Amino acid sequence: MLLLRGKAWVSTKVLPCGGSKLRYRYQLAGAWLLAALLAGILALIPALQRGDGALHDALIRRLQPLPAPPDITLVDIDERSLQELGPWPWPRSVLAELSAQLRARGARLQVWDMALPQSSADAPALAAQFIQPDVVLGVIPVLDSAVQQPPQEGRLPTTSTLEAGFLAQQPQEWAALQSLCPSTTAVRGYLGLMPELAQARAGHLAATPDADGRLRRLPAFVCWGVVNSNSPQQLLLGQLALAAASAYTEDAPWQQQAGRWPWEPAQWLHRGPWRFALDEQGRLPVPWQRPHQDWPAISASQLLLADSHSDFAPLPDLQGHIVLIGATALGLRDMVSTPFHPGAPGVSAHAEIMAAALHSPARWGHSPRWGAWLAALTVLVLGALQLRYSQHTGLRPLLAWLPALALAGAGPLLLGLMWLATTGALVSLLAPAIALLTLAFAQQGLQLLAHKQRNALLAQHLQSFVPPSLAQQIIQQLPNGQSLGQSHSGVVAALHVEGLERWVSQVDSLQALALIHALHTCAAKILQEEPHNARAQLHSAQGATLYLSWPEPVALEQAITSLQRLHQALAPILQTNALPQAPLLAYIAMESGNYLLGLVGASHGRRHVLLGPVANDIQGMLALCTELDSPLLLGPQAAKQLQNTQPPPGQPRSNSLSVQSLGQFLLLDQSRPRELFRLDLLDR
């Protein structure tokens, strides 16, 4: 605050946080950085990651489902198929006939979402159809440590089969893909292939739902055996979708590529036109993009019994299609939990992965690399907005807390929805929200501490010249976050209506009050029409005088233009109401410099006051306006500033401002004379 003692300005402005504004800013910056660090740490906590998963599922349901790709078709082993073809498991000859029908109708690739570990008498007929380059089967590895006696039924695909089909034959490629073997996933058993199908192409069907039961990611590979790059003895079995990509483009090699931070997955696995996203643990995210019912599907019974039933719809063209064969009948228990349905068929997961890999761009639903750093960056951005807004709210609870709560809650959600819709990234949501709330609490605590420290210093200062009880009353009357006054530098003007006191004594009281209201209303209206960044402040009248101020960096010519409009608006009003014995004339004095804006009075009746050297100067200048017959007098600082203001090259000075020196004058209560200037603008 600034207090005036006699004629000398004494600066006693109380700054926040121990008397140092710089220290207060350092404390806010420290809280901001600590909140970002907190967000990075919280993003690594599993409990919050599970909460983020639930929020991401809700956001996925809000997005527009993507249309199913035209070249991927599902064949359902549904309830009707079980009724018409018999209960599961079907004879191997039925599966062989189903495979033959798909091949005859032009299917390019058959991906069977099922394991066939047990042999039978008709297994040779099945092997004749399944040991083909266009067929990929499933193998179920047992990864759950809770299984007491894991089965080991059937056979695993041979190493030679993997080298010739699923993997390329280059040893360096084998070694590169071995780096993707999960180090924390132990294979305890398996449901493999019947001996007759040991040479068939296969991919694993391991399901690894999260703790809440929702399937969000799958291991890209499961591995057995001993690593030997020269003579591989390790069994590297890829997920069913990866095996399908290998069979689809047999001649293309596998290639690994790091993803771009922050919007892409940790790494990409390429093979021909296929591109699979992998996280830092070598897992495949399941990019849920549509409900299961949006996939084009054909009943298995429709394929096998189309000639004997007339009620079947015409079969679609399968030429060049990838066909996934899976069970959708409830009794077969092949169900997974998705964001769209708690019990969707498991074949949905494979279809979503394959569609995203073959038809880019896609919403991959991946967790980007260094997600903790991305959470910290989110807090840095949103926290900067939060801190910047708080500078204009002080300690007013509703204005400070409601936006902070909205930003902490809606900010991460909106950013998460934007990331999910544009890049498919599942960013941390709860960690930034908690960190932003913590930042809001810290910010309010610092402001409260600053408020208490400022009040303590202000009370100590006031008690030096007023009684302690009165000092405490003054402090209690101040609005939260405000001091007694704030110093400014800019333009100050005073408009005085000469003869108003005499005129008021000779007219009706209601007419006098109406004229005074008109003066205030006219001034407020004109100032309201100024540009927002140049809007003046209208202060309480002192008798027949109105005070106006334009804080820097408002141009002096802008203030003069507003005063010209105000003078032109008031002239006809004063002329109409003037009396022969009580004329009404408006005079204006203007000067540039330092001034103090204060707030006095109780909370139910506050008023603004304007003090300082400039206010004293314009009071003395107003007393000379009538004597010098000048509607607008300028002080030396304002005149110098106006004369030094040069228009842009090639443009004339606006409004043809003309400043004329009137000489040296001794103002009221001044020790030395001041040069005054006349401005002819108001005469035009």
Rounded to whole angstroms, the Cα distance separating 582 from 504 reads 9
Of the candidates 61, 65, 69, 64, the one whose C-alpha atom is nearest the C-alpha of residue 324 is: 69
| pLDDT given for residue 21 in this prediction | 66
| pLDDT given for residue 240 in this prediction | 93
Q: Which residue has the higher pLDDT, 31 or 310?
A: 31
Q: Indicate if the pLDDT at residue 17 is higher than 80.
A: no
In tens, the pLDDT along 426-439 reads: 888 999 999 999 98
Superfamily of domain 486-683: Nucleotide cyclase, GGDEF domain (3.30.70.1230)
Residue 333 Cα to chain centre, angstroms: 41
Q: Name which of 224-233, 269-278, 661-670 the model is least confident about.
A: 224-233
Q: Indicate if the pLDDT at residue 224 is higher than 80.
A: no
Average pLDDT, the chain: 81
What sign does the CA torsion over 379, 384, 388, 394 have? positive
Q: Which residue has the higher pLDDT, 150 or 178?
A: 150
Q: Which residue has the higher pLDDT, 118 or 167?
A: 118
For residue 284, give the 3-state DSSP assignment.
Answer: strand
In tens, the pLDDT along 530-544 reads: 776 566 788 766 667
For residue 667, give the 3-state DSSP assignment.
Answer: coil
Q: Where in the chain is the domain with CATH 3.30.70.1230?
A: 486-683
Residue 173 Cα to chain centre, angstroms: 41
pLDDT confidence tier of residue 559, bands split at 50, 70 and 90: confident
Under a CB-based contact definition with an 8 Å cutoff, are residues 453 and 17 in contact?
yes
Q: Which residue has the tokens 């019947």?
A: 194
| pLDDT given for residue 431 in this prediction | 92
List of residues 6+ apart from 572 with CB closer than 8 A = none
Rounded to whole angstroms, the Cα distance separating 483 from 336 reads 63
Q: Indicate if the pLDDT at residue 19 is higher than 70.
A: no
| pLDDT given for residue 108 in this prediction | 94
pLDDT confidence tier of residue 276, bands split at 50, 70 and 90: very high
Rounded to whole angstroms, the Cα distance separating 136 from 113 reads 9
In tens, the pLDDT along 330-382 reads: 767 788 999 999 888 999 999 999 999 998 766 777 788 788 888 999 999 88
Rounded to whole angstroms, the Cα distance separating 523 from 563 reads 9
For residue 449, give the 3-state DSSP assignment.
Answer: helix
Q: Indicate if the pLDDT at residue 1 is higher than 50.
A: no
| pLDDT given for residue 100 in this prediction | 93
| pLDDT given for residue 234 in this prediction | 60
Of the candidates 176, 167, 178, 134, the one whose C-alpha atom is nearest the C-alpha of residue 253 is: 167
Highest mean pLDDT among 157-161, 308-312, 365-369, 645-649: 365-369
| pLDDT given for residue 275 in this prediction | 92
| pLDDT given for residue 441 in this prediction | 85
Q: Indicate if the pLDDT at residue 210 is higher than 70.
A: yes
Rounded (to 5) percent helix, strand, coil in the chain: 45, 20, 35
% of the chain residues with pLDDT over 70:
82
| pLDDT given for residue 395 in this prediction | 44
Q: What is the mean pLDDT of residues 491-504?
A: 89
Q: Indicate if the pLDDT at residue 677 is higher than 60.
A: yes
Report DSSP state, residue 214. B
Please classify residue 76 by burial: count the beta carbons closer than 10 Å to its beta carbon, then call 0-12 exposed, 13-18 middle and 19+ buried: buried
Q: Indicate if the pLDDT at residue 284 is higher than 80.
A: yes
List of residues 6+ apart from 358 with CB closer than 8 A = 69, 71, 72, 245, 273, 274, 322
Q: What is the mean pLDDT of residues 321-338?
A: 86
| pLDDT given for residue 110 in this prediction | 95
φ, ψ (nearest 5 deg) of residue 383: -65, -35
Q: Indicate if the pLDDT at residue 58 is higher than 50.
A: yes
Q: Indicate if the pLDDT at residue 562 is higher than 60.
A: yes
| pLDDT given for residue 605 in this prediction | 65
Q: Indicate if the pLDDT at residue 161 is higher than 60.
A: no
Q: Indicate if the pLDDT at residue 187 is higher than 90.
A: no
| pLDDT given for residue 415 in this prediction | 86
In tens, the pLDDT along 92-105 reads: 999 999 999 999 99
Under a CB-based contact definition with an 8 Å cutoff, are residues 60 and 285 in contact?
no
List of residues 6+ apart from 19 with CB closer than 8 A = 453, 457
Q: Indicate if the pLDDT at residue 60 is higher than 70.
A: yes
Q: Indicate if the pLDDT at residue 475 is higher than 80.
A: no
| pLDDT given for residue 96 in this prediction | 93
Rounded to whole angstroms, the Cα distance separating 257 from 277 reads 10
Rounded to whole angstroms, the Cα distance separating 368 from 261 reads 7
Q: Which residue has the higher pLDDT, 134 or 472?
A: 134
Q: Which residue has the higher pLDDT, 655 or 486?
A: 486
| pLDDT given for residue 401 in this prediction | 67
Q: Indicate if the pLDDT at residue 229 is higher than 50.
A: no
Q: At 408, which helix (H) or strand (E)?
A: helix 397-422
| pLDDT given for residue 175 in this prediction | 59
| pLDDT given for residue 12 in this prediction | 38
Q: Indicate if the pLDDT at residue 604 is higher than 80.
A: no
Q: What is the mean pLDDT of residues 447-458?
A: 76
| pLDDT given for residue 163 in this prediction | 41
Rounded to whole angstroms, the Cα distance separating 491 from 536 reads 9
For residue 110, give the 3-state DSSP assignment.
Answer: strand
| pLDDT given for residue 184 in this prediction | 57
**Which residues of 501-614 form beta strands (DSSP E)?**
537-542, 545-551, 585-600, 607-611
List of residues 6+ apart from 297 with CB closer than 8 A = 73, 74, 75, 76, 328
Question: Hey, what are 45's tokens?
Answer: 């906590």
